[in-house]
Chains A and B, each alone.
Chain A
Amino acid sequence: MKVIKKEDLDDFVDELIAKDEREVVGVKSKDSKYVFDKLGKAEELELEYDVTILPPKKYFMPQRETLVEYETREGIEMKAVNEVVPRIIIGIHPYDLESIKQMDKVFADSPEDGNYLEKREKSILIGVNMQQFSEWSFAGSMGTATIEDGYDLMLTDLGDRYAVEIGSSKGRELLEEGSLKIRDAEPEEIEEVEKIEENIQDEFEKELDFSPRNLPWLLAEEYGDEDFWEENAEDCYSCGTCNIVCPTCYCFDVQDFNDISLEEGERMRQWDGCMLEAFAEVAGGENFREERAERYRHRFMRKGRYLYNRFGDIACVGCGRCASQCVPDIADPTNIFNKLWSDKDE
């Protein structure tokens, strides 16, 4: 573990912004909320924040990105495209780092998705331990309040300085790149970080009443309780906001966008959401998840069971974004999961 003074970290970030060829992005405040955005100078960086509106997933799987460029003047010509902007991303909370680890598995699964993987590979992730807590977060219950890997560098606020944990050779190389004033951590500082990480676990207002390891079987058992799903989905607008803000939602649609000549254009993928009514509809009109309750159940099944079955991860990291953004307030996973848990013996 290393230690750097706060003003030296600011200098380091300013130096990266000025000299590093990668784009430097970090957490900035926007109105009363926070977002990941491009940094113009280090002082814009807000490392004390509760949660960002969107997770950093947008840098590896943009809201809309080109997969293929085509041209149809003579016959057809198509070429694969990947618009990669290498980035240094500063200020990622552990739950978001966990979600990135999960997405890495999804897109590396055969056949590999180079559009995601290359963006991911060319990015540097600088995490930060949480100091503020969203009232909707339950990362403590999901085991994602702190994290041991998945970052290149990890910062912990120690008052006038940051503890810096090196997570990869990419992280080490970044430290070596700048004229950085950094030193080894003292034993007291290491102990302080450990104490901070321990205390973070208890900072969450929301929690699961049980270990999330129970989710896969619990959801299977309660899958058939149609009354339960219908009752809870009753107020759902099918707006898909919970999908859009989720760090582990990665479903997408693909559409062609012609330029004005109508002879060339781009095939783009864009975020899609399983809560949207037409998600499982096929040409001809058949909709295989026509009912709101079916779609509502599907989202929870994805988070707690399906992706676990496929990749071994509980695909809810407890960030609370879905719950905080849901207008009718029916998306809170702790509410649903805890109800299922208490209903299980009935």
Chain B
Amino acid sequence: MNKKESPYLPENATILNVEEMAEREKLFEIELDSGDPLGHEPGQFVEVSVPGVGEAPISVSSSPTKEGNSFELCIRKVGNVTNVIHTLSEGDKIGIRGPYGEGFPVEELKGHDVIFIAGGLGIAPLRSLINYTLDRREEFEDIKILYGCRKPCELLYEDEVEEWRGLDEIDYRETVDECPDDVCWEGNVGVITTLIPGIDIDLDNSYTVVCGPPIMYQFVLQELKQKKVPDHRIYLSLERRMKCGVGKCGHCQINGKDGEFYVCQDGPVFNYDIVKDFEEAL
């Protein structure tokens, strides 16, 4: 039992850029003060530290294929820590621990169609993988992105989404739950599941990757079942209270009859076939 480096000590990092994305979300570009890349896989998360306020688990929103050593976090203003992070600007310092957890199985997805289904802030973790597949487009077959949010003004990554709309090499579809009368919206109106019947899924050759608010999963999964998508071809990213990030504090444990997972270590990305029988997972 030797004294080891504390797993609870964050690294210093600097905010390089802040971009307003929607009423509650900002995109932060961050670089570790060591100058090292974060070294993450798409789908992993970090613990973001504001000394004096606390830590919050945030999924990394940029792809490791992004140029430079910085990474991006899309942060919704929703609690003590994230409220304060929203007041920070370029040049401000924060702490980072991680990356933690199991991300998306990139190697397994290569050579297959990938269908992304994102609801609301669920686009943030998925974007790390979406951009990975776009940066290495030739390593993947058909790419489909289904993106839904409540209202047009809640759409995140507007510039990138505009690009996706125009890309011939992917099939991008979007929807909003509702659209106020005075807003111009050319996409679909309806919940995210209304987009699913309209897409062709090559059942033998595709993976579906889903991320969204907890309520969304059961409806999306039902719809995918209708499409006869095999359970083991679906990956989900789950949100939990990942306080320590290192499998100790107990908060993110999810259980089922047959076992248990620590989302911070075994997830946040899970194969649906593995978690479907976990009563507390979905």
Chain A contact residues, CB within 8 Å of chain B:
67-68, 70-72, 75-80, 82, 106-109, 111-115, 117-118, 120-121, 220, 223-224, 250-256, 258, 262, 265, 267, 269, 272, 274, 279-284, 286, 288-289, 294, 298, 301, 306, 309-310
A258, B55: Cβ atoms closer than 8 Å: no
Cα–Cα distance between A107 and B4 once the two chains are bound (Å): 12
B249, A253: Cβ atoms closer than 8 Å: yes
The answer to whether B255 has its CB under 8 Å from any CB of chain A is: yes
* Chain A residue contacts of B243, Cβ below 8 A: 252-254
Known A80-B8, A306-B253; contact A286-B54, beta-carbon cutoff 8 A: no
* Chain B residue contacts of A106, Cβ below 8 A: 248
| A interface, over-half SS | mixed
A309, B259: Cβ atoms closer than 8 Å: yes
A220, B255: Cβ atoms closer than 8 Å: no
The answer to whether B228 has its CB under 8 Å from any CB of chain A is: no
| B interface, over-half SS | loop
Could you pull out 14 A-B pairs where Cβ atoms are within 8 angstroms? A75-B12, A78-B10, A80-B5, A108-B1, A112-B4, A115-B8, A254-B243, A254-B249, A255-B54, A267-B8, A279-B241, A282-B239, A286-B239, A288-B241
8 Å CB contact of B9 from A80, A112, A254, A272: A80
A302 CB to nearest B CB, Å: 8
Known A114-B4, A289-B280; contact A72-B52, beta-carbon cutoff 8 A: yes
Known A220-B258, A254-B243; contact A76-B51, beta-carbon cutoff 8 A: yes
A45 CB to nearest B CB, Å: 28
8 Å CB contact of A78 from B51, B249, B256, B279: B51
8 Å CB contact of B52 from A70, A107, A284, A298: A70
* Chain A residue contacts of B246, Cβ below 8 A: 111, 113
B51, A72: Cβ atoms closer than 8 Å: yes
B250, A272: Cβ atoms closer than 8 Å: yes
* Chain B residue contacts of A77, Cβ below 8 A: 12
Cα–Cα distance between A256 and B258 once the two chains are bound (Å): 36
* Chain B residue contacts of A114, Cβ below 8 A: 3-6
